Amino acid sequence: MFNKLFVLLIFAGFLNWYLTEPETNVTEFVYTQDTVDGDNGVILYATQWCGYCEKAREFMASNNIEYQEYDIEKSEKGANDYKALNGNGVPLLVVNNKVIRGYKPSEIMAALD
C-alpha cells in the first residue's frame, strides 16, 4: 500500500510540474528578421547527434518550413543564444518569437499560424 501511495505522489508531482510549466516567450534573446533566413522567423538550436533534432529537421523539410539552424556545440552565436534562452535540452526552437522546447510538431505549426 505504501509503495502505491509513494508512486501516486511522485506521479502527481510530475503531472503538476508538467501542467504548470509557464509558456516561455523570448525576453533576453534579441530577435530580429536579420537573425533568420526566410520570412517566417524559425530558428533551430540543435546538435549533430540529437535524434529529435533530426526529426525536427525532417518535419520542417517535409512541411517546406524555412529555418536557420545553429549547432550549439559548434557555433558561438548559437551557444550564446541558447544560453540566453535558458536552454536545457535540444532541440530548442524559436518560431515567430515563441520558444518551443523539444520536438513538438503541433506547437511548431501553431506558432507559424
pLDDT in tens, 38-58: 455 899 999 999 999 999 999
The CATH number covering residue 99 comes to: 3.40.30.10
Q: Is the pTM of this model over 0.75?
A: no
Does a structural domain hold residue 43? yes
Per the structure, the complete domain to which residue 90 belongs is given by 24-112
- 13 within domain boundaries: no
Q: Which residues contact 70 (CB under 8 A, 6 or more apart)?
A: 43, 44, 45, 46, 77, 78, 79, 81, 82
Give residue 37's pLDDT: 46
> Is residue 93 very low, low, confident or very high in pLDDT (cuts 50, 70, 90)?
very high
Classify 59 as helix, strand or coil.
Answer: helix
